[in-house]
Amino acid sequence: MGRQKSERELEQFQNKIEYAEGELRVFIADILPADFVIRTTMEDRIVELENLVNTYGWVVIVKHIQNKSTPDYNTFIGEWRLDEIIDQMEEENANILVLWNALKPRQIYTINEKLKTIWAKAWDRIDLILKIFERNAFSKEAKLQIELAAIKHMWPRIYDMWMELWKQWGQWKWETNTEIMKRHLTKRETHIKDELEKFAKVRAQHRQSRAKKWMKTIWIVWYTNAWKSTLTNVLTKKWVLQEDKLFATLWTSVWKMFVPATYEEDTGKYIPPKEVLVNDTIWFIRELPPKLVDAFKSTLEDSIESDLLLHVIDASDPKFNLKIWVVDEILENIWAKQNRINVFNKIDWLTKEKIEEIKKEYSDLSPIFVSAWDKIWIEELKEKIISNL
């Protein structure tokens, strides 16, 4: 009975550890193949994972990359390597182990069982992203979307609970309780979808109203941390949250960009002033599971039906080509087929030679180069937006 009580206390501690006061100490880990070419394109995953941890407000104390071609079936990172990590976590007084990949139910269960011995807990990257979403969700709709995404992510994890119920109560009780759990989650998922549908109908009415007024809309998309909010501020002359953190902006905001009247001397044509709506939406990041994107589909509806896409690219990032590919893949998966302007931002960080090199290499994207911070070539960008609309 004493051991059972101790295990229950450990389990309760694991369930609440992320809500503990103070800054938690995190051990992050990933596995990479030995192939050098693949490693050079994947090693920045661990940097991105560290940025996610910092965004949540924790501190990374140890980073570990394991040379491994395929994940271990039971522990993802390998039994003996996991034991080494646990020993090191205990020495460093680490509270959380975060692994980059989305873990299978058996893997996360096995790892957490082992971590109980040092009063610690394991997350995969999706767990961490969901927690960041939860922290940044302020509207009722955003909170519902986060809960829906968490339910979708949780379904396979019920295995964890099944195992515990099996140990405590045997097969009949195990089946009864898991059925109760399934029914509860199914009912809650249906309720959330019904509530999100109401929000979607309201937005559809707003879109119809804007269409009647002949108001054009553009949708700004970006890979995290491309200084998109800075560019939005410059275009709309409104204040948008600017923060050097992943997912600092979670909700969708609509702003107005004013374009003054112009007069074309060569044609004698007067072009009246215009207002264009700017949809400032949420995050793009690599290997985001479809179930998470699907949970935010209602938020993305306004953007998907916009008249023009503005893809903001961090031109100073040495691996921006990979991030362009990530954004293109997500846009394709959600059927966003609008005309697109590819905006290479942060040119104030580049030499003229580098700008010319990018312009030549990516000529098929018809790039336009700007500095949102120094307001370089912003008027040219506005002109291109209007000509595309």
If pLDDT is split at 50, 70 and 90, which confidence band does 243 have? Answer: very low
> pLDDT tens digits for 129-152?
888 888 777 778 878 888 888 888
- Is 312 in contact with 276 (CB distance < 8 Å)? no
What totals of helices (H) and strands (E) does the chain contain, helices first?
A: 15, 12
> How many Cα atoms sit within 13 Å of 179 on the Cβ side?
6
> How many Cα atoms sit within 13 Å of 388 on the Cβ side?
21
Residues across the chain: 389
State which fold the 215-388 domain adopts: Rossmann fold (3.40.50)
Q: Which of 124, 114, 127, 110 is nearest to 75 (CA)?
A: 110
Query: What average pLDDT does the structure give for the chain?
Result: 79
State which fold the 2-136 domain adopts: Rossmann fold (3.40.50)
351, β-bridge pairs: none
Examine the pLDDT at 239 and tell me if it is beyond 70: no
Q: What is the pLDDT of residue 362?
A: 94
Examine the pLDDT at 206 and tell me if it is beyond 60: yes
Rounded Cα distance between 326 and 29, Å, is 22
Rounded Cα distance between 18 and 26, Å, is 11
Structure tokens at 387: 């000509």
If pLDDT is split at 50, 70 and 90, which confidence band does 173 have? Answer: low
Tell me the pairing of strands 96-99 and 25-32: parallel
pTM score of the predicted model: 0.76
- Would the CATH topology of 2-136 be identical to that of 215-388? yes
Examine the pLDDT at 85 and tell me if it is beyond 90: yes
Using CA atoms, how far residue 181 sits from 60, 62, 155, 251, in Å, is 35, 37, 10, 30
Residue spans per domain, the chain: 2-136, 138-205, 215-388
Structure tokens at 89: 């976590």
Name residue, tokens 């040495």: 318
